[in-house]
Amino acid sequence: MLAASPAPAGYASHAFGELPDGADALDGPIADSDLPLPEGPPLWPPMAPLRPRLILPPGITLDDALRARLGESVDLIDAATPTGRAVALSLLLAPPLANGSAALLSETTATKVLEGLGQGVGIVDLQGEVTWMNQELAAQSAETLRRLVDICLDLLRSTRSGLLSLAEGQFERRGFRVGSSAYDVVATGLEPDPQGHPTKIAALLLDVSERRRLQERVDAIDMAGAELLRLDSEVIEKINPAERLKLLDGRVVAGVRSVFGWDHFEFRLLHRETKQLELVFCAGLAPLGIGEKIFANPQGNGISGVVATTGDAYICADTQHDPLYLKGLPNARSALTVPLRIQDRVVGVFNVESERPNAFDEEDRFCAEIFGRYVALALNILDMLVVERRTTNRRVATNVLGEIATPLDQVRIAAEAIEHGADARTMELAERILDVVSSVRHRVEAATSGPQTILGVEEILREGERDPILEGKRVLVADDESGIRETIREVLEQKGCVVVAYASGGPAIDRVRAEAATGTPFDLVVSDVRMPDRNGYEVFSAVKESAPRTPVILMTGFGYDPHHSIVRCSQEGLHCFLFKPFQVTQLLEEVRKAFGAPTKAAEGPTTQQPE
């Protein structure tokens, strides 16, 4: 169905299939239109030239080339859009022209076009009477019609009081709800009185329930996202990086469940150097086995590998017939995976699984990507806080070392000068001064070396006392930093432990399993969270699988935990974690706690604030 507004004399009408010179004939519904041109003399008097307007009812499509050619001669009005429908309504009901003469299509023709708009259309007068409506509006409930009439009467009153104008070509949009349905009313004025106030309202009723529902869902996502990004400075300052991540973990899981109602999902971050997709948050899905990894690679890494590589979301409608799907949730039948983005950069993936086939649609994809951006931003903020703290600590320590270097040298030179020609007592004091200077310098240098050191070792080793609680305890230490590894070995052995040490996670895991298989599991495992071949969570999982009663202590530098092992381990029974550089006394205290020494009552894993 194709209709056009009345055209001025001397202009060709392109209302019902007549095209501009040189245009190709139209196929389909346009060419088959059964709406004839009004017969008889022209319905409009001579007037200033105006461009004809062509109304395209819903369902009529034009290719770009034809649309461009038509646009050279006519104004196209697409009645498939709310604005286009409103304009078409105004034209078809034909308010009086400026010179007072009417320009109307025949009643039959106008009615057919109004019915073809596919939306409810009606005319309401000052008494609240619906003087005309199409079939679509007539099919609405009594409550819906009442609300529409109320809006029209309110608009008529507003125009008469001067609050708004609904002169020719002006529209007003209002909304209302009836039960679970949402509607918009697009209205324009008709038949103005001598003062120019409309006496009737032509109203177009639009069912916007789906659009409104989607907007409400997006609003809920925005609220959940704002909660993720709400980082109270006073709270954040008092907790360490692992506790911050744990706080965010709770918010993410709560947000997904409340906004989406999903129970089986995971978030993975992309490691920039290795391209590994490392698990951060997980709910209702089993983690990968020890040694199993997923990378941003479309070959052999499942749907997550494809999404992380291409940056395009993926809906798996049926896992049983999708070769890309890698098993996650037992009995999973469908999955949705979207990229996590910061601006245009993919930083990870958000994967959701369901036991129902075809559980996800394009709306779910759209909403999941919005929520994923909030998660990516929140994680990025936490990472920047860790980097800022590491940078600040190193800068302060370096400045302190620079400031005390000269005074220490002066004290040393003075003490050496005193030694020459001094008596025995004075020389002894000078030696003690030199020892103190050397100790101060060593301690400051140790602090400035950051996570590659343990503080306060000299005093403990100088004491040389064995600890009855640690005597004979078998301890495994895993850390790729030789200085840390050997220092812990030396300290624990001096206290009476039997220590074996490994520079990587793989051999350490093998040894843990082997000892457990012989019935002689280690009494304690101390591991770094970041090693070349295995992360802290994998070491922790291996210990818990083979020797559930063996406690585990994890260590990380300045709270840096790229695999987010600490949060995951804390949820599964981690004894404690330490942030390098830590005091050796803190390590010994946690080791003694692990062996049942009396300590302060506390719940959950012990944490230590990074220096």
CA 273 remoteness from chain centre? 22
Note the pLDDT of residue 114: 54
Instruction: Please work out, in degrees rounded to the nearest 5, the angle formed at the alpha carbon of residue 271 by the alpha carbons of 267 and 277.
Output: 40
Across the range 166-183, mean pLDDT stands at 85
The pLDDT, as a whole number, for residue 168 is 64
- Grade residue 392 by pLDDT with cuts at 50, 70 and 90: low
**Strand ranges (E), 243-370:** 265-270, 277-283, 314-316, 334-342, 345-354
Contacts of 221 by beta carbon, 8 Å cutoff, 6+ apart: 259, 367, 370, 371, 374
Q: Is the pLDDT of residue 480 over 80?
A: yes
pLDDT digits (tens, 9 = 90+) for 308-319: 999 999 999 999
Average pLDDT for 218-233 = 85
The residues, any chain, with a CB within 8 Å of residue 407's CB and separated by 6 or more, are none
As a whole number of Å, the end-to-end CA separation of the chain is 76
Dist. CA 547–CA 513, nearest whole Å: 8
In this prediction, residue 2 has a pLDDT band, given cuts at 50, 70 and 90, of very low
Burial of 357 (0-12, 13-18, 19+ CB in 10 A): middle
Which residues touch 587 (CB under 8 Å, ≥6 apart)? 454, 488, 491, 526, 553, 578
Q: If you average pLDDT over residues 291-311, what whole number do you get?
A: 91
For residue 596 the two structure tokens come to 């049942």
Q: Which of 76-90, 131-145, 238-252 is the most confident on average?
A: 131-145
pLDDT at 110 over 90: no
Residue type for position 437: V
CB 218 within 8 A of CB 246: no
- Average pLDDT for the chain: 77
Q: Which residues pair with 176 in a beta bridge?
A: 183
For residues 544 and 101, the model is more confident at: 544
User: How wide is the angle at C-alpha 137 spanned by C-alphas 134 and 142, nearest 5°?
Assistant: 135
Using a pLDDT cut of 90, give the percent of the chain over it: 32
pLDDT of residue 332: 92
In the chain, % of residues over pLDDT 70:
68
pLDDT-wise least confident of 48-57, 176-185, 431-440: 48-57
Q: Which region among 18-22, 186-190, 239-243, 583-587 has the lowest average model confidence (pLDDT)?
A: 18-22
Q: Is 269 exposed, middle or buried (0-12, 13-18, 19+ CB in 10 A)?
A: buried
Number of C-alpha atoms within 13 angstroms, CB side, residue 289? 2
Q: Which amino acid makes up residue 63?
A: D
**How many alpha carbons lie under 13 Å from residue 582 in its C-beta half-sphere?**
24
Decide if pLDDT at 61 tops 70: no
Which residues make Cβ contacts (< 8 Å) with residue 436, sequence separation at least 6?
none
pLDDT, residue 386, reads 56
* Inter-residue contact 43 to 7 (CB < 8 Å): no
- What secondary structure does DSSP assign to 424-451, as a single string? HHHHHHHHHHHHHHHHHHHHHHHHHTGG
Residue 304 has pLDDT above 60, yes or no: yes
Q: Which residue has the higher pLDDT, 42 or 198?
A: 198
Q: What is the 3-state secondary structure (H, E, C) of 122-175?
A: EEEECCCCEEEECHHHHCCCHHHHHHHHHHHHHHHHHHHCCCCCCCCCCCEEEE
Per-residue confidence (pLDDT) for residue 598, from 0 to 100: 67
Q: Which residue has the higher pLDDT, 534 or 240?
A: 534
On the 0-12 / 13-18 / 19+ scale of CB atoms within 10 A, 320 is: exposed
DSSP three-state, residue 269: strand
Q: Which residues are within 8 A (CB) of 380 and not within 5 positions of it... i.e. 6 or more apart?
A: 342, 347
| Per-position b or e across 53-76, b if 16+ CB within 10 A of its CB | bbbbbbebebeeeeeeebeebbee
C-alpha span between 14 and 17 (Å, rounded): 6
SS3 state at 36: coil
What is the rounded CA–CA span in Å between residue 286 and residue 282? Answer: 8
**pLDDT tens digit string along 403-440?**
777 777 777 777 777 767 677 777 777 777 777 777 77
pLDDT surpassing 50 at residue 516: yes
pLDDT exceeds cutoff 90 at 171:
no
